[in-house]
Amino acid sequence: MAVIELPISFKERMQGLLGGEYARFEQALEQAPPVSIRLNAAKLPSTAFSLPPVPWAVQGYYLPERPRFTLDPLLHAGAYYVQEASSMFLEQALRQATDLSQPLQVLDLCGAPGGKSTHLASLLSPDSLLVSNEVIRSRAAILAENIAKWGSGNVLVTNNDPRDFRKLDNFFDVLVVDAPCSGEGMFRKDAQAIQEWSEENVKLCAQRQQRILLDVWGALKPGGVLIYSTCTWNEAENEANMAWLAEQEQAESINLQVPPAWGVVASQVNGVEGYRFYPHQVQGEGFFMAVVRKTGTAANEYGSGKKKKYKLTPSGKKERALVQDWLIEPDKYEWLQHSEVISAIPANLFEAADEVYQSLYVIYAGTQVAEVNGKKLKPLQPLALSQHLNKAAFQVADLDLAQALHYLRKEDIQLPTSGNAWLLMQYQNLPLGWAKLIGNRINNYYPKEWRIRMELPQQLTPAELFSIANHFTSS
């Protein structure tokens, strides 16, 4: 890699912070960043993986180099997520600070593009509700796409400003705030982050982070947990902000057990402990995390009292009868209808989900199952990728790699079949989406906005033919 020209004031601060380790730190910034992924165990069960593990994440693994992920259909199937390893430390915070066997209501406030939200969805119990939020509309659409691909079915995606969450007083058991920051930890991955960095921007980021924290703090239940993170190293955006919050709101620091072999550095300001990731000590990017608990007792409980009117609308019995067999264990769901779209959410989450709908702008919820037009049904893309899809209800077409890639480009493909039915298109036994069989012709229904846009190489090298499936061994 080319030598990185670091801002002078940044170098001076890091030299003071790291002392004799600074030379190793700067050298690490000139190395290629590690590549890591996190598997979706619900879609790749009962297998062993042959690559080096990320030590703090059960389903996290390192790759030897960065392949062309776009050319692996299993990425599009939601079988794994390409995620920076340091940020997977969220798993340790959640496992050590909460009881994951219990149903929890969790907010991922700054959710796009979806790394932490899909991670949360894998860790939480099926009876838990995850609200994944993104304030920027275009990024919220990407977040909803990745949530649909992951397919857990117990997630609401919202597009709201942090202050909107004041309406949900004492609602969440866990808040995850991966705050917008000055991005110092991304310097070796993003040259623009260096160009945009300044001491003034650090101050502005710290102030914005404080506003965000105060905006959402009321939505956390007393006894609930805030997991705060940034991808930067300066104290103002990290320890100082957590110490400020602890003093402002009487929050209690939660200390995590971190094996020394991991290379994570513990820090402390005014009794609040944080955890720092440096690229010369961990195989990952720059990162900071702290965990605090809200003290006090709740003045009220959500769900108490009689609601005058629900915002969520149950589907009609006829419509439900048409689609209920499309999910495994259909009686576990509340079937909803908005315009022509039928969706399903776990029945035990209906009340909490409706509270969210009453207060926020929800752009995606549960599993979108079908579009109904009279007696005609069109299965929707999130159904194909759902972890709860009943594949036995559909005719399935198995695709080879070339067919799968052309399908994902939304191009016409030919299959030795005929008839009149919806086809569930799958690759290596994992669904990719839908096509409509009309006689000998196949109409490709892969979402236009999701399609692969890159031109496919005429000849693929072994590196370009990367598939996550190649790294499994028999268990």
Mind telling me the catalytic residues?
231
Strand pairing report for 220-230 and 172-178: parallel
| DSSP percent split of the chain into helix, strand, coil, nearest 5 | 35, 25, 40
Please name which of 264, 291, 386, 285 lies closest in space to residue 83, comparing C-alpha atoms.
Answer: 285
Show the tokens assigned to 101.
């066997």
Q: Which residues contact 345 (CB under 8 A, 6 or more apart)?
A: 153, 154, 333, 334, 336, 353, 365, 366, 367
Return the exposure string of 246-260: e unless at least 16 CB atoms fall within 10 Å of the residue's CB, then b. Answer: beebebebbebebee
Distance CA 40, CA 318 (A): 34
CA distances (Å), origin 63, targets 45, 248, 282: 20, 43, 15
- Residue identified by tokens 């924290």 is 213
* Alpha-carbon dihedral sign for residues 45, 46, 50, 54: positive
CA distance to 333, 424, 429, 467, 469, per residue, from 79 (Å): 24, 17, 11, 11, 10
Dihedral angle sign, alpha carbons of residues 10, 11, 16, 18: positive
Distance CA 67, CA 75 (A): 12
β-bridge mates for residue 241, sequence order? none
How many helices and strands in the chain, by DSSP H and E? 13, 23
Q: Phi, psi (5° rounding) for residue 348?
A: -70, -10
Torsion 455-458-462-465 (CA) sign: positive
Nearest to 406 by CA among 467, 440, 456, 448: 456
Torsion 355-357-361-76 (CA) sign: positive
Structure tokens at 278: 């440096």
| d(C-alpha 45, C-alpha 59), whole Å | 11
